[in-house]
Structure 1
Amino acid sequence: MNPSRSEARRARILGIVLVIVCAGFVVAAIGSLLVFLLVGARLPWAAVLVFALVGLATLLTVGLVGWPLLATPPREAAAQDAFDAAVESQRRLLDDVRHELKTPIAIVRGHLELVDASDPADVDAVREIAIGELDRMTRLIGDIDLLASVEGERFTMDEVDIESLTQRVVDLVTVIPGHEWAVESTQRGIIHGDADRLLQAWLQLADNAAKHTPAGTAIELGSGVYAGAFHLWVRDHGPGIPPAARHRIFRRFDRGGRRRSAGGSGLGLAIVDAIAKGHGGSCTVTETPGGGATFTITIPLRSTLRLPAPVRAGEVVLQRKEIG
């Protein structure tokens, strides 16, 4: 297990103190040696041995006494670790945002510099490009605010009816055109969590599946309990995620090699992952048998309250609603 930030800080401080003490003994030894050389006296090796033993004993004492004295109270240490982690997270987010905003700004600036103001068609084309890039920046800012609130653990924890949550997701995804939506399994029961955040994460996975799979393909979703954990999943039959990219697609702005033209800010899966971790769980991606990707939000059973047996929906296919 990696040491906490407070322990690492304590080790650094103690290390500095030990270096200073050691440097003091080295200076004292050099000074004593110079005195013996100047007066022409013989250096007794017994004195050298005693001096070395005293130095080692002093360093050992400083280390043994200093380590507990430098210890931070558990509550303060936890608070400091959380603060340091938040600062580091915000720093990384700002670096990512700065990098991500460079592209739309450069695109808009380049087209504005080259636009022919006397050509109405050119002006209209540049206007559409600028509005599109500004819309993308607006979505990015909205997703950044959302990710910050999720990573800040702003959750409203309460009892969540899983059957109702599953049905709510089904009702919402059926309006996404171009796909046939099917429910594989519905878990009955109550867990402790944030219903709105779980709904948000599940819908994000469904939206991703719809964007990155061919039109007309089926997308399945479901809920259940497996291997001591509660699962929410979305399974598609598209191109899938290459194995080399599965460990990084949950990072901010990492699209795993997928096209930017599919839309989105590149923060969707990072938000899903943060919501899962906020419930003590995780989000993973595996290969769908026959091709495609299966995204699963896993929540440990230790956070559940009541979990009756699941109800299978089998081959029930939800007819998608046409948007007129």
Structure 2
Amino acid sequence: MFTVRNPLAGRATVLGPVLAAAGVGLAVTGISVFALQRARILAALPRGASRADIDAALEPVLTSSVTYAAAGIVVLGAIAAAGWYVSRRVYSPLRNLQETAAQVTLADLGARLPDRGKDNFGSLNRTINEMFERLEGSVDVQRQLLDDIRHELKTPLTIVRGHLEIMDATDPVDVQGAREVAMSELDRMSRLIDDIDLLATVEGGGQLSMGVVDLRALTQAVAQRASVISGHTWRVESRARGQVHGDFDRLLQAWLQLADNAAKYTPDESPIEIGSAVDDVRASLWIRDHGPGIPPASRHRVFRRFDRANGQRSVGGSGLGLAIVDAIAKAHGGTCAITETVGGGATFTIEIPIHDQEPAAPAPVRAEDVVTQREVTG
């Protein structure tokens, strides 16, 4: 609940009573003067005075009373006019707000309130316009998300349908091949849906079990799980001694996703280092690989859903892995960054603040960002 104050409202509360008091005062004065003067004049007239003498004596009193009455009517009319004018000025912003809100629909979110300056109604208009802009951006993102998901789900359905159409039902080998393709595509669709659900959950702040996380234990847990990802030599370079406030399982999940990502995009048998560090401000959880690296111009893209810096869709996956990492980092008030490894490669770092901070607002779910990365193995 909030209260909106406007300078015009204050003027209305002062002007209205003043004018009303003036009009009533004139009316009362006119009646009082007429009654007193009439009584005085009638008392002064001799007994048996004619009607003409009485009317002549009362004529000045009647004239003054009419004058007072006319003045009272004029003042009351001024009160009505001033009240009408002030009420229109006071409630005009509310009428504009009502009319603008009535124009806003899902098909048209472009309506905005006029800028009324620096008064309280002007501040209210600007706040509501910002709300409309956020609403419009959110709806656009959701539309794009639905369009992209529709496209991503249509591809496996088309593949399955195509294999079923050309399958020879009398050939067991052909049937088995079509079955394997169908199962593979359905599994991919299931992983995509699970990742979308997970991303929405993390970005919405749900299912986060916040508590004290020991960085040394977290580093050891990541090292143990990453070591089963075949094809690479894993080495722990540093284990931080310290604690952060966070969700152990979500941080473990994000860190393992970085490890899996490094394993997918680097040459077989190349080394990958794991490490953690802590200072007075933040804790850093990093994965360092020695692959082709990521060009600086493309680093902002890899955390978007359904996007890859090198466009390699053949790697597999839903394309949501790094988007989930970024969402988990932001849910902890932190960030995820990419730097170049000395000698070639990329270093992914999750930075989590040591002290309690307000978590950063999650990025809206974009559909152009959701489907191309391999799931965490192990």
TM beyond 0.5: yes
2:189 equivalent to 1:134: no
Q: 2:116 and 2:308 mapped to 1: Cα distance?
A: 54
Q: With a CA cutoff of 8 Å and minimum separation of 6, indicate the structure with the bigger relative contact order.
A: 1
1:94 paired residue number: 146
Q: 1:299 and 1:61 mapped to 2: Cα distance?
A: 42
How big is the shift at 1:245? 2.0
How big is the shift at 1:218? 0.6
Return closer, same or farther for 1:240/1:70 CA change in 2, 3 Å cut-off: closer
Match of 2:168 among 76, 94, 116: 116
Which amino acid in structure 2 is aligned with residue 121 of structure 1? V
1:291 paired residue number: 344
Q: 2:345 and 2:120 mapped to 1: Cα distance?
A: 59
Match of 2:283 among 230, 233, 254: 230
2:15 paired residue number: none
Residue-by-residue CA offset, 1:237-276 (whole Å, 9 max, x unaligned): 1222233321111111112234333221100000000000
Q: 1:298 and 1:150 mapped to 2: Cα distance?
A: 17
Q: 2:221 and 2:116 mapped to 1: Cα distance?
A: 64
1:239 paired residue number: 292
Match of 2:318 among 259, 262, 265: 265
> 5 Å matches for 1:165-180?
165-180=218-233
Maintained 8 Å contact 2:115/2:122: no
Which amino acid in structure 1 is aligned with residue 292 of structure 2? P
2:119 equivalent to 1:67: no
Maintained 8 Å contact 1:96/1:252: no
How big is the shift at 1:232? 0.5
Return closer, same or farther for 1:248/1:69 CA change in 2, 3 Å cut-off: closer
Residue-by-residue CA offset, 1:29-86 (whole Å, 9 max, x unaligned): xxxxxxxxxxxxxxxxxxxxxxxxxxxxxx997874632465779xxx99x9998877
How big is the shift at 1:163? 0.7
Q: Which runs of 5+ in 2 are unaligned?
A: 1-91, 100-113, 358-377
Return closer, same or farther for 1:303/1:122 CA change in 2, 3 Å cut-off: same
Determine what percentage of the aligned residue pairs are the same residue: 59
Report the structure number with the largest CA radius of gyration.
2
1:151 paired residue number: 203
1:106 paired residue number: 158
> 5 Å matches for 1:199-218?
199-218=252-271
Maintained 8 Å contact 1:232/1:296: yes
1:45 paired residue number: none
Q: 2:196 and 2:352 mapped to 1: Cα distance?
A: 24
TM-score (normalizing by structure 1): 0.67
Maintained 8 Å contact 2:195/2:318: yes
Q: How much is the aligned-residue C-alpha RMSD, in angstroms?
A: 3.4
**More strand, by proportion:** 1
Which amino acid in structure 2 is aligned with residue 67 of structure 1? G
1:37 paired residue number: none
Residue-by-residue CA offset, 1:281-309 (whole Å, 9 max, x unaligned): 111112212221111111234339xxxxx
User: Could you say what secondary structure the match of 1:220 adopts?
Assistant: strand
TM-score (normalizing by structure 2): 0.58
Maintained 8 Å contact 1:240/1:293: yes
2:313 equivalent to 1:249: no
Q: Which runs of 5+ in 1 are unaligned?
A: 1-12, 21-58, 305-322
Return closer, same or farther for 1:87/1:218 CA change in 2, 3 Å cut-off: same
